[in-house]
Amino acid sequence: MAEKQKSMFVTGAASGLGREVARYFANVGWFIGLADVDTAGLAETAKMLPPGMSSVHKLDVTDRAQWKKAVAEFGKHTGGQMTVLFNNAGIGTGGPIQEMTDEDIDRMIAINLTGVISGTRACFEFLKNTPDSCVLYTSSAAGIYGSAGLSVYSATKFAVRGLAEAHDIEWRKLGIKSRSLMPGFIDTNIIGAVDAGSNMTGKEKLQSVGIEVSPVSVIGPAAWNAIHGEQVHTTVNKMAKQLAFSARWFPNRLRKSLGLMEGLGNIVQAKPS
């Protein structure tokens, strides 16, 4: 790796948003650390990147020891530097909270929140040693206003939003920026499963009721703009932007509208985002 080459460590890199951001940044010359528990998916992602532009790391984000090992291995490729940590790995499980299992709730919090915190801690020294570094978190439109049928998922994404805001203040004097992406529905495998009751994918269900599903290609430029911009939060796609606007100016009207969409929480499946 060239001395001044920029680098990014990406969790959830085996599919979805992580894969797309890795591909986007590798294609403009960044060295990418691909991390995920899904080794087969990681291998597929690595093949999509230019030769010599990535390292592969098996990582369960709930395991702090694995975090330390993966980041140390990544640092061997980058001279101990990390321009960006894309703290992205997450899962979603929908449905009313009283119908969710304890295991579903614990796993979602462990991956979406505790794992994110562990990653930020594990990467801190690398970020501090790198000029103009940044932590980029994946929050969600569900972190803008609580979503019925997605209450625990929303709670984790609100928490990630808070981390981004707090760390941007805490680490400003260290030269580390903190940013979050807030996408609406993106065409990834988190909404790709077929529902046996309707024989429709989550994407098809959303589109059937007029809800926007954006192509995954929107996430690369959004990540680039977030990292290089001054706003802490970046909404991704029209749906998320409208939600943010309504949450600020018309919260009561928004609450009523979201009540009509309550059943959509069941569309979200427990798969990596």
Positions annotated as catalytic residues are 153, 157
The encoded tokens of residue 125 equal 């020294």
* C-alpha closest to that of 186 among 209, 161, 212, 156: 212
Distance CA 73, CA 259 (A): 47
Residues with Cβ within 8 Å of 249's Cβ and at least 6 positions away in sequence, in order, are none
Q: Determine what percent of the chain falls in helix, strand and coil, rounding each to the nearest 5.
A: 50, 15, 30
Q: How far apart are CA 215 and CA 264, in angstroms?
A: 19
Rounded Cα gap, residues 157 and 151, in angstroms: 10
- Strands (E) across 45-152 are located at 54-58, 84-87, 133-138
Q: Show Cβ contacts of residue 155 under 8 Å, excluding neighbours closer than 6 positions.
A: 146
Number of helical (H) and strand (E) elements in the chain, helices listed first: 10, 9
Residue whose pair of structure tokens reads 């979200």 in the numeric block? 268
State which amino acid sits at residue 31.
Answer: F
C-alpha 48: how far from chain center: 20
